[in-house]
Amino acid sequence: MSSSALTTPFDQVHSTESSHHGAPPHVCKFGMIIFLLSEAMLFAGLIGGYIVLRLASAQWPPSPDLPALPKVLTGCNTLVLIASSLAFHMVEVSVKSGKTGRRWLLLTILLGSTFLCGQAYEWTHLYREGLWFHVGGVYGSSFFVMTGFHGAHVLIGVLLILWCFLRQCFFKSFTQHHHVALDNVGLYWHFVDVVWVFLYMILYIV
Amino acid sequence: MNVSVAPDIDLALDHPIALETHHHSEKKGIMHYLWSYDHKMIGLQYLWTAFLFFLLGGALAMAVRYQLGFPNHPVPLIGRFLPSTLASDDGTIIPGGYNMLVTMHATIMVFFVVMPLLIGAFGNYLIPLKIGAGDMAFPLLNEVSYWLYVISGFFILAAFFAPGGAPGTGWTAYAPLSAVAIYNQTQVGQSLWGIAIFINGLASIAGATNYITTIITMRAPGMTMFRLPLTVWSLLITSILLIFAVPVLSAAAAMLFFDLNFGTSFFKPAGGGQPLLWQHLFWFFGHPEVYIMILPAMGLVSEIMPVFARKPVFGYKAMVYAMASIGLLGFIVWGHHMFVSGMNLTLSATFAVSTMVIAVPSGIKTFNWLGTVWKGSIEYTVPMCFTLAFVSMFVIGGLSGIFMASTPVDLFVHHTYFIVAHFHYVLFGGSLFAIFSGIYFWFPKMFSRMMNPTLGMIHFIATFLFFNLTFFPMHNLGLGGMMRRIADPTVYEHLRQLQPLNVICTIGAFGLGLSTLVFFVNLFYSIFKGPQAPDNPWLATTLEWTISSPPGHGNFPITPIVYNGPYEYSVPGMDKDYLPQNEKAPTNIQLEIH
């Protein structure tokens, strides 16, 4: 392989953009994608463990008196989360076209919070029905730990978007040409949504 | 997007590019040492913190060896000060305490010494210098990663003071022993272990993200991937392994934490959980982890060897491809740790074969190292001695690895001292020898002084002899049937005749401890009293040797332009016997295409 085929991206890093504070946008995005790969492996570990436990169980739920998971309600909640991804996409579209994107940011926060409230309702509902971390064996364990891990990620995502919203309101931080933090929060948010689609399918549907 | 810089463009001489990486100012005073964004300071933070843990981990190892060599004798001097969870009133180590010592020794050495030294210290210090960058891509994340490591260190140390004492479940923390509090007797200690592993994992992921991004996006002009020094390649591949392996351990540690504290039953059969699930998750991480700890060591020695053989590394690209295939194969062999778990025999054979395949790239590396020193002008400096010792010790550890990759052999040696011998040959004889080699080699760059070669040679000879005295007899102990993790071999009739070997191992271990003290004496003496080092004391070619020692903030006064591969030693027809990466070869010299 000739060496000239392998390029050095030095010029991109050391272009005029780097006089701006911090690493240049494409470097930040690259780092975020690497980080999200590790996040994907975290959920892969949880999902892998769940599959092993579930295949080893003669029936699912393991005992007939354990409550079923609310497919329809959470299905609606899933749609809310997907809608929030679309809303965030609109944030990026409007910021890139020169607008502030504040309304779309607010909508994303509202949709994300709605999802969290839905999950909180579901947890309390299942708790009253007699399912909790230590009740219902692996059925309860896996459900609460996996949705808990994901919920924590959604909560962090909502806080990040809230931070973007406040920065945009008070400092107009993100403009047509400088919006790398917004892009990275977007990558994270879309990732968290995609993970949820997998979790919903494997926990509720299958 | 991708702007290609042709290697022979003459932009260096006409238009020096001012470095643009001074986007964070240099810190003054105490904050310079505690909260620095400079990759070199962060590397040194990792170095010193890991050395502290190294002393603790070594002390634990000697306590373990004392008990095995002289079972149920009070530990001299320090025995009376040991907490009641470790030793009885007269200072004799108790069986439960012995398990804690073994567990903490291994956990500390793996997660708090070898990984932070190889990846945290050398990785941080060397990557930007070797690729010609001013710093890491994300300096703040870099410092956060170091402090996450420190926080995880506090959690693991806190486990010693937990109500039930430190965990005694081994560094592998097999369930259900680890997952059920009434079994392991220390719910708090085991939970702290889980938290420490989780936070330590965050530090690893933050560091790995930074390394990959830096190596891919911040190389100096002309520094193509196949002009990267092998240390950088090894750290890149290691970082990729970290990104894919560590989060799985984090997930497992979290499940373990919930099992212990929230009553979940992931690993508890009573609730439908599976102890075997822990083994799978742990070893899915655990085997890549083995390569995480040896690949950077291989990178360091591949870097040091050509300098003291005054020859290019033999088969540079083969070295890169070998490391990449070791990394890749490392993900599909974890089952070889579980041959005795009741595994399906076909699956077991598959894991055996995939494991043995790793011997091929490992062999390529070994023979390439031999090819590198072959007919070289070898200088037996301290770093070179450790490097050559690395190769021979790695061969011993690697060969015993092939033994246990074979299922029928493994059934016999599993959970015996044969395994303990094996992994100490690769971890101490491998990783730690490379670390020593790297310290002696880069010390002049880090502290602008030379280390004392006489003390260094005493350290090397003593370490080499005592290392083999400690660990070679463990092969015999293992084949003689001595099990791992037993506090007192003399209670087993079949082991009584082997007790002299245990005494020999113990004498070796204390010799090893003393020789390490020689190293630290040399280290501190040389920092303050060592002779001033020139910028390039070893006449090496890579970029870090082209600048002052220690390099200033921002590293390169002028962005270097790279013209050559990293190992242009003894180029025929040249006046001097090395050609730095940023120096153009004289026009009458034809280099091989790199």
Q: Residue A170 above 70 pLDDT?
A: yes
Backbone angle region of B475, left / alpha / beta, with phi > 0 → left and psi within -120 to 50 → alpha: alpha
Please compute Rg for chain B using Cα positions. 24
Structural domains for chain A: 21-205 (1.20.120.80)
Check whether B4 has a pLDDT greater than 80: no
Within 8 A of B2 by CB-CB distance, chain A residues are: 7, 9
The label of the residue with tokens 């003669």 reads A58
Residues B462 and B519: their CA atoms lie apart, in Å, by 10
Neighbours of B457 (CB within 10 A): 14
The answer to whether B433 touches B468, Cβ cutoff 8 Å, is no
pLDDT at B592: 67
H/E run at residue B469:
helix B453-479
Q: How far apart are CA B229 and CA B219, in angstroms?
A: 12
Asked if residue B381 has pLDDT above 80, the reply is yes
Closest to A185 (Cα-Cα) out of A31, A21, A25, A32: A32
Which among A14, A40, A45 has the least Cβ separation from residue B252?
A45
Which chain B residues are within 8 Å of A26, Cβ to Cβ?
1, 217
Q: DSSP state, A68?
A: P
Helix (H, G, I), strand (E, B) or coil at A9: coil
Give residue A1's pLDDT. Answer: 35
Test B2 with A7 for CB contact under 8 angstroms: yes
Q: What pLDDT is attached to residue B131?
A: 97
Contact (Cβ atoms closer than 8 angstroms) between residue B63 and residue B73: no
Residue B15 pLDDT grade (very low, low, confident, very high; cuts 50, 70, 90): very low
Task: Provide the chain A residues 54-73 that lie in CB contact (below 8 A) with chain B.
Answer: 56-57, 62
Q: How far apart are CA B134 and CA B544, in angstroms?
A: 11
Q: Flag if B274 and A52 touch (Cβ within 8 Å).
A: yes
| Residue A12's pLDDT band (cuts 50, 70, 90) | very low
DSSP run (H or E) holding B420: helix B417-426
Please name the residue ranges forming H helices in B310-416. 316-329, 345-357, 359-373, 382-405, 407-413
Would you place residue B76 in the very low, low, confident or very high pLDDT band (cuts 50, 70, 90)? confident
Pure H helices in B185-344:
187-217, 230-261, 275-309, 316-329
Would you say B137 and B218 are in contact if contact means Cβ atoms under 8 Å apart? yes
Give the number of other Cβ atoms within 10 Å of residue B62's Cβ. 18
Range B75-80 average pLDDT: 87
Structure tokens at B379: 């200088």
Q: Which two tokens stand for residue B319?
A: 């070295």
Band of pLDDT at residue B225, cut at 50, 70 and 90: very high
B541 pLDDT band, cuts 50/70/90, is very high
The answer for A 1-40 residues in CB contact with B (under 8 A) is 1-4, 6-14, 18-19, 21-23, 26-28, 30-31, 34-35, 37-40
Say whether pLDDT at A6 is over 70. Answer: no
Nearest CA in chain A to B239: A34
As a whole number, the mean pLDDT across chain B is: 93
Write down the pTM of the prediction. Answer: 0.93
